[in-house]
A and B are shown apart, each in its own frame.
Chain A
Amino acid sequence: MKNILVIDDAATVRMYHCNILIEAGYHTEEAINGIEALEKALTTHFDLYIVDINMPKMDGYGFLKEVRSQKDINQVPAIMVSTESASNDQVLAYSAGANLYLVKPVRPNDLLSYTRLLLGEGA
């Protein structure tokens, strides 16, 4: 079963994303900030990260840069999700290592379809 790490400081958003993914048969884990996410990413295998930008301690950019710098996990695709629709954030997200930038709230169909595409499972 594909394992997805959902990183967001808002429990509501985590629950929202996880519910959608679990419903579709994915396994999910959660982290509340970049530091916790990194700890998990380094010890558990994930197929995809879904990461928020603005979080305490370590934000989404910081997390992605760390992940992309770690030899064993640097290839894992990442979807960045944020409420900011500013194009500047999008460039920052790509630069940090995100593969896709989505604006909250992400519709369930969109989230699932993008996830399937990134994981090579279909549309």
Chain B
Amino acid sequence: MNALLEQFLSESRDFLQGIGEKLMQLEDEPDNTEFMVELFRFVHTLKGNSGLFDFPEMTRVLHASEDLMDSVRNGRVNYSQTLADQLLEAMDFVSVLIDEIEGTGELSNQYTNTSAALAKALRALIIDTNLGSDSEAVAILLESSGALEESVEFNVSELELPEATAMQSYRDLKIGNSVIWLMYTPDPECFFKGEDPFFLVRQIPEVIWSSITTSNNAPLAEMDAYDCKLTFQVITSADISELHELFRYVPEEVRFEIITQANDLISPMGEHNNEPVYDDFIEQAQTLLAKNNTEGLRQLTSTMLELSSPALWCSSALRWLLLILELDETNGALHSALLESLHTFSLTIPIIESVVSDEKLLAENDTVHVETVTNAKIDEPTESNSVHLSKEEQARVNAIIHSQKEILNLPNTNNAWLVGRLKAVALTLKGCCQALHKNEALENLDEALNDALAQSSSEPLLVWLETYSKDFESLVEETVETAEITTPAQITNDEVIQETQKPIALKATESEANTEKLDASPEIKFNRRSEDASAAASKTLKVDQEKIDRLMNLIGEMVVAKNALPYLANRAETVFGVRELSREIKAQYAVINRVAEEMQDTIMQVRMMPVSFIFQRFPRMVRDISRKLGKEVHLVLEGETTEADKNIIEALADPLIHIVRNSLDHGLESPEVRAAAGKPAEGKLLIRASQESDRVLIEIIDDGKGIDPDVIKNKAYEKGLIDETTLERISDQDAVNLVFAAGFSTADVISDLSGRGVGMDVVRSAVEKVNGTVGIESQTGKGTRLFLSLPLSMAVTNVMIIESNKQIFGVPMDMVVETVRVPFNQIRNIKQKQTTVLRGRIVPLLSLNDLLAQNVEQVANEDKEFATLIVRVHGENVGILVDDFRETVDIILKPMVGILGGLSGYSGAALLGDGSVLMVLNPRELI
């Protein structure tokens, strides 16, 4: 994928994010014009960006969104919830497209229909609000929206197809080909967009018939060659998916109808002869028909046809009869009807069924996959930059000259920038003179400029332009025999605009050439660009996360390498006996240590992200869910700028979403219930982040119905999570905490309990994985407060090293409550489990060797005391017997990957200063 496309995708996501946010903010303050302008700008810029690429589906929806927002911005359309919904839906669609492009590098045409439908819905909003206010504007909008009146029923017989065409179509249908009628009405402005509708139409395969009309009735002298008023109708037996593919850039300008009823095509035509002389024939034919003698009927009809003048209506009917006898042999009723029509010159076809529009067919057949993307545009010939100007270049020269002329024709208001404007025009003209070697004109230009500046008037420059514009014009006429693209001097401003715009606008599109061109060596260009943009346009830098991770790993390794220096100093002194050197190494170590710590600190800072990264999705989510549940919720976000390590923030996302969902689902009541309880109908949900020393605290507070401890207790008891004694003794707070117990949440809990508890154990384990804790407080009827506490950073972990069975392990310090030495004789066996009493409380004891499934006794010290690590697991103190304690160290903990990743007893591994590997235990899982 080239750098430009990557840039586009990344920026698009930012814009989508911004658009979503602005819509949410507008929800609260629908009259805030600043938000409105901002929102428009986002949509506008996004659309502009997408125009650089060949993603018509995306651009179409964005264009419609932009137009809608423009109307809102200008007060022509009122901002409303429906409008916000529609825009959100459109942005979701764009988001899907961006994912698709990111995944595959391109956009398949499966989105064409959705895109057209969305654009239509958006444009409908522009019109709706206008209704009644300004009927003329409505008419214009209706027209410009390009929507074809689908409601007008299509009837193939009204097309008055030539007989041969109708017969060919009939034949195709009868032999199983599909026959499709399409009507293509290009946008009147399409010539300016680089489109060639005729070329497009000529790409239609299997064309049976076409009719091309133009509604251009203006007198020739006033006709505008660039106002497209063409309408194309085509009948083809091509595949509908092929046609969709072909017209994927302009789906709103095409109408397809699949002709399913072959009989609709049967329409004899021709002169009516005064005296039908067919009575005998009809009688004879009907007799043959009654006898099912098809062959006889065919011969009779052929004979009759030879006797008739081919231009007659009856002859046409006979030709049809022959065709039908061939392709629809058994349809006696039809044959008979045709014979009868010879009397009356009008055919009544038995059982006439209507045409099925292709949309219905497509709905059943949605997954039809069409590959290749053909582009219907003509490649413009590329002309080389020789001395002679190409037509395109001449057009550009003209555009520049005319622009300057128009600028000079602007009123000479004495504003501060008039001087600059004149000078800039002069410099622009100078550039053209130099570029085209117009030396004489050039010589007089300075004088004209000086006069103009002296008089504060554009007049002298205009005179100069009058004098020399012929040079430029003649230059054009010498080489272009065709049109007088340049305009005579005495024209109005409006005309200048039109004229100058044409050559520009006509070539403005055709983006694929661009992207291809840029594709050639994106890497090199990108690098050069980065250098060039030295004083970076924006002061932030987007860096691939992988690079940051790599940097962090390297720093981690350096910290480890650095830690080897004290060992080295020690060896220098004890092994080699060089104290001097040992001191010097220590001094150097101090310096390196300081720098390394600073580096570590800095990289931590780089990895810090504001919690708004997660918070920003809540407004939309809360809005969607509460609307679905019929609840009214006022969401308040606080402390969005609070920062934490990227990994922490990312780990936080899912649990938070879970909690917020629960809160909406089970915590907050419906407006009626709230009103009955004497609360305001609108519930309040507060999500607050704050920093407390080295931890981030996140609270989710609602004023809903809270959690009833009794309900929880009973449920827990029913589930066997607590025994009878606990059921009676448990405090309300402890009862509420049971929602975090594994196995508490099941489907029936959700429906019965309608409190918290849905997957709360999942939340807890997710939070604990990043060394966080989670707690809950609730008051029945008043509300619930959930709080998460998380470390700011998980990059550096302080671990205690312990020894067991001749190995060393690390244990995270934040889990260690204390270390004690428990004398052998104070260990009691209760129900075959070892325990001891510590400060009046019974503490269960576990042996690390047992936990690691090593069949070895722990080793006690000389005083028969066991080294015991008291760790807090799930709010309970547990003693782990080890062989010995060692020092505590700061390490960079790396989670284990691959097969080792499945070992939940370990939270990871780290490198020690001497190069050995330290396995870090995860006591929670271990126990």
Contact = CB atoms under 8 A, between A and B. Distances in A.
Q: Are A and B in direct contact (Cβ within 8 Å)?
A: yes
Contact of B406 (A31, A36, A74, A94): A94
Contacts of B419: 68, 74
Given A68-B417, A123-B435, 8 more contacts: A74-B424, A75-B424, A91-B497, A98-B407, A105-B52, A105-B509, A107-B508, A108-B514
Chain B interface helix/strand/loop/mixed: helix
B561 interface: no
Contacts of A28: 529, 532-533
B535 interface: yes
Contact of A11 (B426, B511, B538): B538
A114 B4 contact: no
Interface of A: 9-16, 18-20, 22-23, 27-32, 36, 40, 54-56, 64-70, 74-78, 83, 85, 87, 90-91, 94-110, 113-114, 116-123
B45 A9 contact: yes
Nearest to A114: B396
B41 A54 contact: yes
A18 B403 contact: no
Q: Which 10 A-B pairs have the closest CB atoms?
A: A68-B420, A74-B420, A120-B434, A68-B417, A30-B537, A75-B423, A120-B431, A69-B416, A123-B393, A12-B49
A110 B52 contact: no
Contact of B433 (A40, A68, A77, A120): A120
A10 to B, nearest CB: 5
User: Which of A40, A75, A114: most chain B Cβ within 10 A?
Assistant: A75
A99 B518 CA distance: 27
Contacts of B424: 68, 74-78, 97, 99
A90 B400 contact: no
Given A15-B529, A108-B513, A110-B396, A121 B435 contact: yes
Interface stretch (B241-249, B499-507, B795-803): B499-507
Contacts of B505: 85, 103
Interface in B510-537: 510-511, 513-514, 517-518, 525-526, 528-529, 532-537
14 contacts: A11-B537, A16-B52, A29-B537, A30-B536, A74-B417, A90-B500, A90-B501, A91-B493, A100-B428, A103-B501, A107-B513, A108-B514, A117-B436, A122-B385
Contact of A123 (B389, B421, B504, B534): B389
B420 A19 contact: no
Contact of B511 (A27, A85, A105): A105
User: Which of B11, B428, B493: most chain A Cβ within 10 A?
Assistant: B428
A67 B505 CA distance: 27
Interface in B632-649: none
Interface residues of B, number: 79
A106 B510 CA distance: 9
A117 B407 CA distance: 17
B910 interface: no
Contact of A77 (B8, B427, B536): B427
A46 to B, nearest CB: 12
B385 A11 contact: no
A30 B497 contact: no
Given A30-B537, A77-B424, A123-B389, A117 B51 contact: no
B494 interface: yes
B225 interface: no
Given A12-B11, A65-B417, A99-B403, A94 B410 contact: yes
Nearest to A119: B431
Contacts of B509: 105, 107
B421 A97 contact: yes
B427 A76 contact: yes
A13 B535 contact: no
Nearest to B402: A100
